[in-house]
Amino acid sequence: MVLYQVHITVRHEVYEKYVTWLKETHIREVLAQPGFLSAELCLKKGGALESSGKEVKMNYRVESED
């Protein structure tokens, strides 16, 4: 099994819309692909408004590197 991690910073003004899209659409679409076993969305609470955005991490478990 392989852990595929995506770690990005999302601008504050689109953060809520982006997270909603991940939860309602994207995660389901990814898990429908062959080899993908599970997905975990990791959101950091809080975060300084002075920064350019908020961190979002996605952990996907995949059968193999193939």
At 32-42, the pLDDT tens digits run 999 999 999 99
Rounded to a whole number of angstroms, the distance between the first and last alpha carbons of the chain is: 11
Does this model's pTM top 0.75? yes
CA nearest to 57, candidates 18, 2, 17, 13 = 18
Average pLDDT over residues 49-66: 86
Whole-angstrom distance, CA of residue 18 vs CA of residue 24: 10
7-16: burial string, b at 16+ Cβ within 10 Å, e else:
eeebeeeebe
Give residue 49's pLDDT band: very low, low, confident or very high (50, 70, 90): low
**Residue 25, amino acid:** T
